[in-house]
Amino acid sequence: MNHQNFEAKLNELKAPKYRFQQAMRAYYKDFLGSWDDISTWPKDLRLECRSLAWSPLKLAETSPDLEFSSIKLLLETEDRHFIETVIIRHQDGRNTVCISSQVGCAMGCGFCATGTLGFTRNLSAEEIVDQVIQAARILNQQEAKVTNIVFMGMGEPFNNPDNVFETLRLLMHPDYFGLGARHISISTCGIIPGIQRLAKEAPQVNLAISLHAPDQLLRAQIMPVAKAYSLDKLMDAVKDYLKRTNRKVMFEYVMLNGVNDGLEQAEKLVKLLGPLKQLAHINLIKYHDTGTFKATDEKRRREFFEHIRKNGLSITQRVSFGEQIKAACGQLAGKNQS
């Protein structure tokens, strides 16, 4: 919902100020579905507000069904673009919502389905927030709550910084969604100004870096962003971030067969991240087929993993959710299909 437009409407109608708080509660805390559902409101006020979007996104489809551990929402913007949001229901009771920050992405990483789509437009803060609210509405029906939010859907969050930082404010503010910063993570392919701004404006929000290669040459081959922000400069920015925040940074590393998954690369990764000591955590990700590369097999993945582990770095392998429903990382292409 657009707060400014709604406030202007209330002023125009000379409605009392508390109507604003009531609507915020209805949208951000009770997850009601429309203005009409605010049962404490007089009918004429509900009717007047109908001209404003309650949820700017329309839920076009959920798949595969609400009982699965991973639910993909296909959402349609008012200008008829499709974006995707994924709810991951973990066995320990946490529910993570993976949200999109753009329609498409301009960064063109070779292994990513969103990247091959190209860029259409930025999502507004209200559109990004609405993905969380729509997910919360579905979870609410199952008597469950959103416990974590990750910016790992479509788009590069730090290419849409103003709207992403406004989203963070709305998600964390106790009068709005009210989720703690430590339950929110932003993943970036390495846009340095965004990393610097995160350290200043939201230092408690978790940072994840999509690293995917341990040296500049290889990184630039699979991630064009490395040409604009080199690995050296990225590592300097991460060190600065660590100095300011003292928060652990997660490095994501998608395993591409014969490309970045040899012991030589594992050793380079140890050299690159070793100096960050306990403030670096590596997360190996299984490559979800998008047609361009092949996934590393289990044996090779194990060797890579062990080499890094025995050198004292903190490392995990991401359990993959949602591959069957094409809701896994890098498979989000926002097409109206399942």
- Residues at the interface with ligand SF4 (CB under 6 A): 105, 107-109, 112, 114-115, 155-156, 189, 210
Per CB under 6 A, the segment of 42-50, 70-78, 182-190, 230-238 that binds ligand SAH is: 182-190
Q: Which of ligand SF4, ligand SAH, none lies near 285, with the C-beta cut-off 5 to 8 A by kind?
A: ligand SAH
Site membership for ligand SAH, residue 285 (CB under 6 A): yes
**Does 84 participate in catalysis according to the annotation?**
yes
Binding test (CB under 6 A) with ligand SAH, winner from 104, 161, 214, 330: 330
* CB of 163 vs ligand SF4, minimal distance in Å: 16
* CB of 31 vs ligand SF4, minimal distance in Å: 28
Q: Dig out the tokens for 117 from the structure.
A: 């789509």
The residues, any chain, with a CB within 8 Å of residue 151's CB and separated by 6 or more, are 99, 101, 157, 164, 184, 185, 186, 187
DSSP strands (E only) in 14-173: 58-63, 70-76, 82-89, 95-98, 102-104, 119-122, 148-151
* CB of 136 vs ligand SAH, minimal distance in Å: 21
The CA distance from 143 to 79, in Å, is 32
C-beta of 63 vs 114, nearer to ligand SF4:
114
Q: Dig out the tokens for 228 from the structure.
A: 């604009």
Per CB under 6 A, the segment of 116-124, 169-177, 187-195, 232-240 that binds ligand SAH is: 187-195
- Chain centroid to Cα 204, Å, comes to 16
Q: Dig out the tokens for 67 from the structure.
A: 């009982």
* CB of 321 vs ligand SAH, minimal distance in Å: 12
* CB of 108 vs ligand SF4, minimal distance in Å: 6
Four-CA torsion 173, 175, 176, 181, nearest 10 degrees = 20
Q: Which of ligand SAH, ligand SF4, none lies near 287, with the C-beta cut-off 5 to 8 A by kind?
A: ligand SAH
- Within 194-223, which residues bind ligand SAH (CB under 6 A)? 210
* CB of 231 vs ligand SAH, minimal distance in Å: 15
What is the DSSP pairing of strand 249-255 with strand 280-286? parallel
- 161: preceding bond cis by omega (within 30 degrees): no
C-beta of 19 vs 212, nearer to ligand SF4:
212
Edge-to-edge, what's the strand order for the sheet holding 148-151?
58-63, 70-76, 82-89, 95-98, 148-151, 184-188, 206-210, 249-255, 280-286, 314-317
Residue burial 122-146, b: 16+ Cβ < 10 Å; e: rest: bbbbbbbbbbbbbbbbbbeeeeeeb
Site membership for ligand SAH, residue 325 (CB under 6 A): no
Binding test (CB under 6 A) with ligand SAH, winner from 55, 62, 96, 187: 187
C-beta of 109 vs 139, nearer to ligand SF4:
109
C-beta of 7 vs 297, nearer to ligand SAH:
297
- Please report which helix (H) or strand (E) contains residue 284, including its range: strand 280-286
Q: Minimal CA–CA distance to 137: which of 215, 212, 64, 75?
A: 75
**Does 201 participate in catalysis according to the annotation?**
no
Q: Which of ligand SF4, ligand SAH, none lies near 139, with the C-beta cut-off 5 to 8 A by kind?
A: none
Residues with a catalytic annotation lie at 84, 329
